[in-house]
Amino acid sequence: MRHIQLTLAALLAGLTLLWLQAEPGAGAALPFFTLRAAMMNYTGILGIGVMSVGMLLALRPVRLEPWLGGLDKAYRLHKWLGISGLVIAIVHWAWAKVPKWAVGWGWLEKPRRGPRPEETVEIFRILREQRHLAEEIGEWAFYSVVILIALALIKRFPYRYFFQTHRLMAVVYLVLVFHSVVLMNFGYWSHPVGPVMALLMAGGSVAAVVSLRHQVGAHRRTLGTIEELARHPDNQVLKVAIKLQGRWPGHQAGQFAFVTFDAAEGAHPFTISSAWQGDGRISFLIKGLGDYTRQLPDTLAVGQPVTVEGPYGRFSFAGGKARQVWVAGGIGITPFIARMQALVQAPDGRAVDLFYCTSAPDEGFIGKLRQLASQAGVGLHVLVSPRDGRLDAAGIAAAVQGWQAADFWFCGPTAFGSALRAAFCARGLRTDDFHQELFEMR
């Protein structure tokens, strides 16, 4: 989480400093309409800047995973960039509209402006001729951004429609690039902010085209067929075993992949629940949490073709500590199952305690979990919430001697993990020793 916050803060601060360097009147007492022009340029730079980085992150860049802590963290940053872009766009729109309304209502008097000096640079002259068009389509693009981001943030909006509508952001972004290039203060192009914005918008435009061509993650996709389906009705978990037919680079326990069962629905992210053995087989445990995943037991069939894209993620169980504490909430048990399978093949000598919290126990599922934990040398603690109550830091500390010298790995509901992190950090645990999967892609 810290790297997400630092990255967002650094981007906003960096763009602000570049704008201040290019804006000669910044910090001075300016007439209102001069201030308005400066603030529209400033909010415009911030807005298209964060949207450009958001578009680049939509490409699922694996090279940024080490810094951000995994693609799940990159998607969290993508979400906050979208929210920031929405807020900045609203402020930008307000600076454009409210003064005009105030003039119309007689609250402000717009200063008379003489004829514009003739533009001697040909490209700037062409851009100036496009100002009216850029303003008109920019306003409609703003309204589109508000609607599309709002739909992305509404969890009740079905994923298949989110998947389809969110791709329209690429079209809106390209319109906003045109709006920004035409309307940005021409003087900025001779300052560092100009080349930086050009690079950001060029990169974002390439990302938008890749998205519109449905090529995001294309080089990491492989085809496969469903080899096995196993239902656990009590906890509504479906095991899907897939035989991959194409190239797969292998994966580490804790990673995830995007799986497409239905092209109309689009790719959904699922944590891989099997250790890689080099035999082309991969498994997922899918919890029926929404309309789509609840229907999978009835719609999937052995032999059905699927597409798998990945692997992604940095939930790697790495670290120099001799002890680890794992906490799984519900379907968050999935990466730990893959890790225990890997430990059966190659023990690492660490002492491990796994706390599995569930509100819907499935005895068959738990029986297999106990057997696997025994084979992997992992101490398993099963807590059924209606019976045992909610797991907290005090309960873990009482069960694990020497927890202060352990790495913590959590996968489950975000609020649950955040509460445990805060409680253990208050007890002296280093923030970097608590690793949390943020498995929310919207």
pLDDT tens sequence for the chain (442 residues): 677 889 999 999 999 999 999 987 776 677 888 899 999 999 999 999 999 999 999 999 999 888 888 898 899 999 999 999 999 999 999 999 999 999 989 898 887 776 676 766 788 788 888 989 999 999 999 999 999 999 888 888 888 888 888 989 999 999 999 999 999 999 899 999 999 999 999 999 999 999 999 999 999 999 999 999 999 988 899 999 999 998 899 999 999 999 999 988 889 999 999 999 999 999 999 998 888 899 999 999 999 999 999 999 999 898 889 999 999 999 999 999 999 999 999 999 899 999 999 998 899 999 999 999 999 999 999 999 989 999 999 999 999 999 999 999 999 999 999 999 999 999 999 998 999 988 776 6
What is the pLDDT, as a whole number, of residue 351? 95
**Can you give the pLDDT at residue 1?**
64
pLDDT for position 442: 62
Q: Which residue has the tokens 């703003």?
A: 142
Name the strands in the sheet holding 323-329, side by side, starting at the edge strand that comes first in the sequence. Answer: 378-384, 351-358, 323-329, 406-411, 434-436
Per-residue confidence (pLDDT) for residue 441, from 0 to 100: 63
Residues in the chain: 442
Same fold: 2-212 with 323-436? no
CA-closest candidate to residue 353, choices 376, 332, 331, 324? 324
Specify the pTM.
0.89
> The domain 2-212 is classified under which CATH number: 1.20.120.1770, 2.160.10.10, 1.10.1740.10, 1.10.645.10?
1.20.120.1770
Among 235, 427, 397, 417, residue whose Cα is nearest residue 327: 417
In contact, 244 and 306? CB cutoff 8 Å:
no
Phi-psi region of 266 (alpha: psi -120 to 50; beta: other; left: phi over 0): left
Packed helices 334-345 and 363-376: angle between N→C axes, nearest 10 degrees? 40
Fold entry, domain 220-312: Elongation Factor Tu (Ef-tu); domain 3 (2.40.30)
pLDDT at 320: 82
Burial (CB < 10 A; 0-12, 13-18, 19+), residue 378, is buried
Which CATH fold topology does 323-436 show?
Answer: Rossmann fold (3.40.50)
Query: Where do the domains of the chain lie?
Result: 2-212, 220-312, 323-436
pLDDT given at position 224: 96
- Check if the beta carbon of residue 242 is closer than 8 Å to that of residue 302: no
Please give the pLDDT value at position 159: 81
The span from the CA of 264 to the CA of 272, in Å, is 23
Q: Which residues contact 213 (CB under 8 A, 6 or more apart)?
A: none
Helix, coil or strand: residue 242: strand
DSSP 272: B
**Which helix (DSSP H) or strand (DSSP E) does residue 282 occupy?**
strand 281-287
